[in-house]
Amino acid sequence: MTTIKGPAIFLAQFMGDQPPFNSLQSICKWAASLGFVGVQIPSWDSRCINLQLAAESKTYADEVKGIVESAGLQITELSTHLQGQLVAVNPAYDALFDGFAPDAVRNNPKARTEWAVQQLKYAAQASRNLGLDAHATFSGALLWHTVYPWPQRPAGLVETGFAELANRWKPILDVFDEHGVDLCYEIHPGEDLHDGVSYEMFLDKVHQHPRACLLYDPSHFVLQCLDYLAYIDHYHSRIKMFHVKDAEFNPTGKQGVYGGYQGWVERAGRFRSLGDGQVNFKSIFSKLAAYGYKGWAVLEWECAIKHPEAGAAEGAPFIKNHIIRVTEKAFDDFAGTGSDEQFNRKILGID
C-alpha cells in the first residue's frame, strides 16, 4: 500500500487577469497559503509555462520548477486537455473547438491536428525535463456525435473510428514511452474515451500500450450513473492520476442524464465543490490506497454554485483529511506467536 500525495490543485480554473491569479509565482504563493503542497499546470496557459521552451530547454524547465518550489510546492503534472481535444475533432465540432487553437491554424483542421500532435510531443519532453512521470490529457472525439445510436450507426463505423483514433495517438504514446512518462486520459463525456468500455476498445487498437493510462475523476461517472468504485477495481493498474472533484445527480420526472439542454445550475447532473456533492470519497481514497496508487490527489474545482476561491479554501483540508497514512504493520501483530516451517507443519498436522 502507498500513502497518496497531496493535497494539490489544478490551476486551470483559477488563472485570471488579476493578482494573485495572473502569474505562476503569485498563484503558487496563493495555493500554498491555503495548504496545498502541489500544483498541476495547464500547459496551454502562457502565464504558467511556455510548453515548447520547457521541452527544448532544460534550463527553462528548471526555472519553472524553481518558481513553484520557491512557494514550497511541487509540480504534480502538466496538462494538455485542450490540445489533446484537438488531436481528433469531428467536423461537426470544428467551429466550437477552433477556439482552443492558435489563430494560425484556425479554420484549417489538418494544420490544427498537426499543431495539437506536436503540442503533445512537447508535453512528453517537457514532463521529462521537469522530472514528472505522468501527464493529463483528453482523447478527442471522432464518434461523439453518434454516442446515442440514432440514426442507426452504419456497420463498422465504431471500429473505423477507434482505428483512426488509435492511429493518431499511437505515435504520441510512443514518444511518451521514450521519455518515461505515462499519458493519462481523463475519461470524460465529449471524448471518445468516456467510460471503461470505450477505453478498452481504444486499448485494443493501440495494442495495450503501456503508456495509455488513466486520469481518474469520479465526478464524470456520477453524471453517467457508472459505478465509480467498481471502476477502480477494474482499472487500478492503469490509474496514474486522480482529480478530486465532486458531483451530484438528481433526476426528476422531467430530466435525467441528458439534461434537457439546460445550463449547469438547472441540470439534473452537475459538478459541485468538494463535500457538497454525492461522491463517496472515503471509499475512493481507501481503494486507491489499498491498490497502491502512487500519485497525487489533485483538486479540480468546478461548481455551478460556489465561488472558486471558497471551493479552493475548503478543498485543501478536505483532501488532506481524506488522505490515508497507510500502515506498515498488521493491526493484530501484537498477538503474533511467531512461526517457522516446522511450526507451521505441526499446526497442519503434517509433521
Predicted model pTM: 0.95
- Is the pLDDT reported for residue 135 higher than 70? yes
Ranges of each domain in the chain: 5-348
Residue pair 187/215 in contact by the 8 Å Cβ criterion: yes
CA 292 to chain CA mean position, Å: 17
Range name among 29-43, 115-129, 335-349 with the lowest pLDDT average: 335-349
27-58 residue pLDDT tens: 999 999 999 999 999 999 999 999 999 999 99
Kindly report each contact of residues 146-151 with a partner whose C-beta sits within 8 Å and lies 24 or more positions away, as own/partner.
Answer: 147/194
What is the topology classification, in CATH, of domain 5-348? Answer: TIM Barrel (3.20.20)
Per-residue confidence at 123, pLDDT binned at 50, 70, 90? very high
CA distances in angstroms from 255 to 148, 227, 259, listed in the order given = 17, 21, 6
Give the model's confidence band at 331: pLDDT under 50 very low, under 70 low, under 90 confident, else very high. low
Other CB atoms within a 10 A radius of the CB of residue 328 amount to 6
> Identity (one letter) of the amino acid at 118?
Q
pLDDT digits (tens, 9 = 90+) for 274-290: 999 999 999 999 999 99
The full DSSP string for 32-68 is HHTT--EEEEETT-TTT--HHHHHH-HHHHHHHHHHH
- As a whole number, the mean pLDDT across the chain is 96
pLDDT, average across residues 238-243: 98
End-to-end CA distance of the chain: 36
| Sequence letter at residue 273 | S
